[in-house]
Amino acid sequence: MNDKNVPLPVARIAPPIAPGVPSTAGADFLTTQLDALVQWAQKNSLWPMPFGTACCAIEFMSSVSSHYDLARFGAEVVRFSPRQADLMIIAGTITDKQAPILRKIYDQMPEPKWVISMGVCACTGGFYRAYHVVQGVDEIVPVDVYVAGCPPTPENLIHGLIELQKRIQSGELARHREAKTYVPIRVGTDPQVESIPAWSKSVMAPGRAHGHEFPEMADTAEAEAAEATKDAVGGKA
C-alpha cells in the first residue's frame, strides 16, 4: 500500500560520525514525532472485533479467510472479546432488539477505537424499512467508515479498511475526536447513505426518543455553525 497523500513517520538515520568510527549511540538511531510513530503502529495493528450478525458476516469470513486474507493489511488478529479489540466491524443487520447489546459491546472496547459499518444494512437499514430494524447503526454508535454493498465484496471491505488506516495515520480522526466533531468516510457509491438521519427519525415510535445521545457526533458543518453563533453571541455580550 503506497499512497502519496499519507505522511509517513519522519524517520532519519543518523549518519556515522566519521568513516570507520561507530556512531555515538552504539547503533544508528531514529528521530520522529511520537504521535506519528504511535499512529503508524496503530494503523498497522488493528485488532478487529467482528460484530457479525447476518449475511455480511459471511462475506467478512471470506475476507479473513485464505483467498482474500485481510491479514495482509495489518488487521489480522480477529478478537471476539471487545476488551481486546480496537476496531469494531459491524457486519450485518442490527435490529432494535440487538441495539442495546451493540452499544454495550462498543462501550466495553478500550480507547482509541474505530468503527467500520459494513454493508447497507448496518449503514442505513438497507432494504429493510421495517418495524424491527435499526435504520443505520449511527443511531447507536459513531461510525468512522461506511462500506456500501449488499454484501460488500471483500475488495470493498479491504478498501474501507485502507481508508480508515489513512485517516488513522494522518491523525485526522484523532483530531476530530479531540475537537468533538465527527466526519464519516464513505466507501463505494450508495445514494441511500445520504438519507440516514431523516428516515430513522421519521419511523421511530412517537413519544419514545432514542435512548442514546451523542453530543460528540455533531456534523462538522453544524459544529462550525454552532461555534460561529456562539462567537457572534459572545461578541454581542
Q: Which residues contact another protein (rule: CB under 8 A)?
A: 51-55, 57-59, 61-62, 65-67, 80, 92-93, 95-102, 104-105, 127-133, 150-151, 153, 203-205, 208-211
Q: Choose between 174 and 199: whose C-beta lies nearer to another protein.
A: 199
Q: Mask of contacts with ligand SF4, 42-61, x by CB under 6 A?
A: ------------xxx-----
Classify the phi-psi angles of 180: left when phi > 0, otherwise alpha if psi is within -120 to 50, otherwise beta: left
Distances (CA, A) of 64 to 78, 121, 149, 211: 9, 20, 18, 34
Q: Choose between 140 and 145: whose C-beta lies nearer to another protein.
A: 140
Gap between the Cα atoms of 141 and 84, Å rounded: 18
CB of 16 to ligand SF4, least distance (A): 56
Strand partners, 117: 90, 146
Q: Choose between 173 and 187: whose C-beta lies nearer to ligand SF4.
A: 187
Q: Total residues at the site for ligand SF4 (CB under 6 A)? A: 11
Q: Choose between 129 and 175: whose C-beta lies nearer to ligand SF4.
A: 129
CB of 80 to ligand SF4, least distance (A): 19
Gap between the Cα atoms of 122 and 135, Å rounded: 8
Q: Choose between 48 and 151: whose C-beta lies nearer to ligand SF4.
A: 151
Gap between the Cα atoms of 197 and 195, Å rounded: 6
* DSSP H stretches of helix in the chain: 34-44, 55-64, 99-108, 120-124, 154-170, 172-179, 196-203, 220-236
- Shortest-Cβ-distance residue relative to ligand SF4: 121
CB of 123 to ligand SF4, least distance (A): 8
Gap between the Cα atoms of 221 and 164, Å rounded: 21
Phi, psi of 126, rounded to the nearest 5 degrees:
60, -140
**List 39, 63, 93, 165, residue binding ligand SF4 (CB under 6 A):** 93
* DSSP H stretches of helix in 16-153: 34-44, 55-64, 99-108, 120-124
Q: Choose between 82 and 92: whose C-beta lies nearer to ligand SF4.
A: 92
119 binds, among another protein, ligand SF4, none (CB under 5 to 8 A by kind): ligand SF4
> Should residue 136 be labelled a site residue for ligand SF4 when binding is judged by CB under 6 A?
no
Among 70, 77, 68, which Cα is nearest to 46's? 77
Largest pairwise CA distance in the chain: 79
CB of 195 to ligand SF4, least distance (A): 16
CB of 104 to ligand SF4, least distance (A): 21
Contact positions vs ligand SF4 (CB under 6 A) = 54-56, 92-93, 119-121, 126, 150-151
